[in-house]
Amino acid sequence: MPGKPDVSDDAEDRSGISADRRTFMGTVGAITGASALGGTALADDGDEKTEVGGEGSRTGGDAQNAILVIPDGAGQAHISGARYLKAYQEDSEAFPENVTPDGTTLNVDRADRIGGMSTQPDEPELLITDSGAAGTAMATGTKGYNGVIGGIGSEDDYTPVGTVLEAAHEAGMATGLVTTTRITHATPAAFATHVPDRGMEDEIARQYVENGNVDVLLGSGKRHFDPEERDDGEDMLARAEEQGYHVVETEAELADADDGKLLGLFGSESDRSAHMSYYVDREYVDDTDEPGLVEMTEKAIEVLSDCENGFFLMVESGRVDHQGHSHDNTITHEQLECDEAFGTVLDYAEDDDTPETFAMQVADHETGGMSLGWDAYDMDWAAIDEIRASLEHLDYAIEEAGYDRGATVDVVEAHTGLELTEGEIIDIVGGDLTNVLNKRTQMGWSSDSHTGEEVPSYASGPGAEHFGQYFDNTDVSVGIADALGLEFEPGREIDYEIRN
């Protein structure tokens, strides 16, 4: 990573000094004690900043850092789709002959090991997971039920269990969560909070802030921190500042942020979903001041790499899943952005001047039963490349136009590059834009929800050897903890305060 000092060459050198100072916080130290853990120092501009990292001191593993990238809902077709889109964009003349290992490559191709992960939850007779159970399994090393965050049992009989992120914090490492969804959404929440139901997003926000054990939190979802919008009226924005977080809300503020604890809550208040924008809307449609996933990833690494004990970072491309649910062709653009973020991670991990870093990309499950091909042998990748607004954006624009025929045609043609046929116009005005676009591109979908297929994984650096085969989602945190040399017991039950 350019411009970052080498914080360490050798984890063992640093660890010797303070083996006896080691304070594993045990179970709930994190709740009440964590706010005091970060030290303070003066930033370059003279402002007080809160340093990242916990107060423990690692003995160190083979890897100094670990970065886990999760494209939520990405199966093999999503990866292939990103590859074909990139190949088309790089050289449309050579396409599709350039879709070979000698042609266009993705960043996932740089990984040392490729494997496949099973994703089923702890649900009798169910093979298919939601993101809560999936994130929980990946973060805690033990399986939970659908809808759970950071625990096991059932909604009525819930037991919180510790996560690999918490273990990293307790060992003195810096930690971070980055996502394009609300930061209170299931995947990031499963790494650092504990609630029986993923819908308890106000409480998830409160836990992040009160625990203070995630140094960098970047995503959306200000509504769950804002006293005006929280059910309990508590001001989690002010509380976050008291806890040493610098709160930023725009791309420019993120770029300007000094090192130290950081809470980024992006996306305008008028956002329909309160998630960040889809990649295509952010890039081509909306006049947005949101950062992209790559910029958030770069900033998180820059801040977290200040910690001499190393860092754990989870980066989620969280809206791939949403586009799988809605059968949106621009899922390929979203997945390609995720691949760029993974490239940023690998650039850091592979740099000779940075410490040994484990890096991995793996989804939590597949969404949509996406297929490359519907009922013909040829797909239209020129059309897929040209569709540069999300279905969500187009649907709202059509609705805003009152399904007026002329306005609808204008909106769709302007954002897709298509010349619509009479039949297509009738279908679109009748509310069937999704089908029209998929028929054009020949992208196929077999589910409105998640599917049970195993998902592809890509791992590099020390610890990658755990992921070069077929493995289970509960193996992710165990392998990461091993690479980092963390004390980590999968499924360790913890005492924990949960409010409503």
Decide if residue 187 touches Mg ion (CB under 5 A). Answer: yes
Q: ∠ CA 185-52-192 to the nearest 5 degrees?
A: 25
- The single residue among 221, 264, 318, 479 that binds Mg ion, judged by CB under 5 A, is 318
Q: Which does 308 bind (CB under 5 to 8 A by kind): Zn ion, Mg ion, none?
A: none
Give me the least distance between CB of 91 and Mg ion, in Å please: 33
476 membership: H or E segment, kind and range: helix 475-484
Decide if residue 72 touches Mg ion (CB under 5 A). Answer: yes
295/293 Cα distance (integer angstroms): 6
370/323 Cα distance (integer angstroms): 10
- The single residue among 131, 146, 434, 473 that binds Mg ion, judged by CB under 5 A, is 131
Decide if residue 366 touches Zn ion (CB under 5 A). Answer: no
Give me the least distance between CB of 39 and Mg ion, in Å please: 32
- The single residue among 15, 49, 57, 72 that binds Zn ion, judged by CB under 5 A, is 72
Alpha helices in 75-221 (DSSP H): 76-90, 131-140, 164-170, 186-192, 201-211
Q: Which does 162 bind (CB under 5 to 8 A by kind): Mg ion, Zn ion, none?
A: none
254/297 Cα distance (integer angstroms): 11
Please report, as residue ranges, which positions from 3 to 32 form the binding site for Mg ion (by CB under 5 A): none
Structure tokens at 175: 């930690």
Q: Of the listed pieces 230-238, 240-248, 298-306, 316-324, which binds Zn ion according to CB under 5 A?
A: 316-324
Decide if residue 316 touches Zn ion (CB under 5 A). Answer: no
389/347 Cα distance (integer angstroms): 29
**Closer residue to Zn ion, CB minimum distance, 63 or 74:** 74
Q: Which does 318 bind (CB under 5 to 8 A by kind): Zn ion, Mg ion, none?
A: Mg ion
Decide if residue 180 touches Zn ion (CB under 5 A). Answer: no
Please report, as residue ranges, which positions from 127 to 146 form the binding site for Zn ion (by CB under 5 A): 131
Task: Judge contact between 266 and 290, C-beta under 8 A.
Answer: yes
Give me the least distance between CB of 198 and Mg ion, in Å please: 10
Decide if residue 136 touches Mg ion (CB under 5 A). Answer: no
- The single residue among 170, 259, 290, 321 that binds Zn ion, judged by CB under 5 A, is 321
113 CB burial (10 A radius; 0-12, 13-18, 19+): middle
List, as one string, the DSSP characters of 292-331: PHHHHHHHHHHHHTT-TT-EEEEEEETTHHHHHHHT-TTH
**Closer residue to Mg ion, CB minimum distance, 118 or 131:** 131
21/23 Cα distance (integer angstroms): 6
Place of tokens 């850092």: 65
Applying CB under 5 A, the residues found at the interface with Zn ion are 72, 131, 321, 364, 367
Applying CB under 5 A, the residues found at the interface with Mg ion are 72, 131, 187, 318
